[in-house]
Chains A and B, each alone.
Chain A
Amino acid sequence: GQQLNQSPQSMFIQEGEDVSMNCTSSSIFNTWLWYKQEPGEGPVLLIALYKAGELTSNGRLTAQFGITRKDSFLNISASIPSDVGIYFCAGQLGSGNTGKLIFGQGTTLQVKP
C-alpha cells in the first residue's frame, strides 16, 4: 500500500540528546499527525498539524507542517529513557472526503541512559 517516506529508520542515542525525524511524500496532505507506539499497544497521538507552515509544540516535542504540504518533521529535545518507542508520521490526503491516514514506516528510537 501507499506509504510515506520516513527517516531515519532507527536511532540509538544518549539520554539528553536531541532527536529529529522527518517524513516526505509525493502527495499533498491537508493534515499531518505524529504518533508514538510502544510494543503491543496502539499508536498514541503526539501532535496534530492542520496548516502548511504550522509549528506546534507539546512539551519537549516540536513538529512542523512543511510549506509544500508534502513533508513534516518531529523534533524531540533532551531525550529521556521513556521516549523509547516507534514514532510514526501519518498524513491525511486533501482530496475528497476520506479521512484515511497514510503512515510512514516508523522511526525506532532507543535511548541509552
Chain B
Amino acid sequence: DTGVSQDPRHKITKRGQNVTFRCDPISEHNRLYWYRQTLGQGPEFLTYFQNEAQLEKSRLLSDRFSAERPKGSFSTLEIQRTEQGDSAMYLCASSFRKGQQETQYFGPGTRLLVL
C-alpha cells in the first residue's frame, strides 16, 4: 500500500496525559498537512510542512500542540496535557505541489478520545 498511513488508528487517554501521533506520507510528496475533524464537521487545517519546514500554523494549534517533520519524510503531532476538548479525529494528508496545482491525499486518521 503506497497511500498515506497513520499510527495509531485509535487512542484513548486520560486528561492531562501527552499523546503523539505519526503520519507517513506518500513517498516523494513534499508537502504534509495535519487537520482536525470533530463529529459532524469537515476537517479543519492545523499546520503544514513543505519538506522539513513548518510553513503555517492555524490559530487552532495551541501551545500544547507541536508538530515535526525532521527529515522531510514522516511527521509527528504531539499534544501535551490533553484536554477533553482535544477529542477528535486527527487527519494527515500529503501532496506534491507543481506550479499552482496540488492535490491532497488523506490517511485513515487517528481517532483520539480524552477521558
Which residues from B are CB-within-8-Å of A92? 102
Q: How far is the CB of A11 from chain B (nearest CB, A)?
A: 16
Interface residues on A, range: 20 to 34
Partner of A98, one of B42, B56, B60: B56
Does A25 sit at the interface, judged by CB under 8 A? no
**Contact at A45–B105, with CB atoms within 8 Å?**
yes
Q: Does B74 contact A (CB under 8 A)?
A: no
Q: Which of the segments A30-38, A62-70, A73-81 contacts the partner chain?
A: A30-38
- The answer for the CA separation of A42 and B42 in the assembled complex, in Å, is 11
Q: How far is the CB of A9 from chain B (nearest CB, A)?
A: 10
In this assembly, does B106 line the interface, its C-beta being within 8 Å of a C-beta of chain A?
yes
Q: Which residues of A contact B108 (CB under 8 A)?
A: 41-42
Q: Is B21 an interface residue (CB 8 A)?
A: no
Nearest CB in chain B to that of A94: its residue = B100
**Pair count A-B, CB < 8 A:** 77
When distances are taken between beta carbons in the complex, the residues of chain A under 8 Å from B35 are: 101
Instruction: Report if B28 contacts A (CB, 8 A).
Output: no
Q: Are A98 and B55 in contact (CB under 8 A)?
A: yes
Q: Mark A97-111, 1 if CB is under 8 A from B, else 0.
A: 111111111100000
Stretch of B11-19, B43-51, B65-73, B79-87 that contacts chain A? B43-51
B109 CB-CB contact with A under 8 Å: yes
Knowing A103-B42, A104-B42, the reply to whether A44 touches B56 (Cβ < 8 A) is no
User: At the interface, yes or no: B62 with Cβ under 8 Å from chain A?
Assistant: no
- How far apart are the CA atoms of A40 and B113 in the complex, in Å? 13
Expressed in whole angstroms, the Cα–Cα distance for A99 and B101 within the complex equals 9
- Closest chain B residue, CB of each to CB of A89: B42
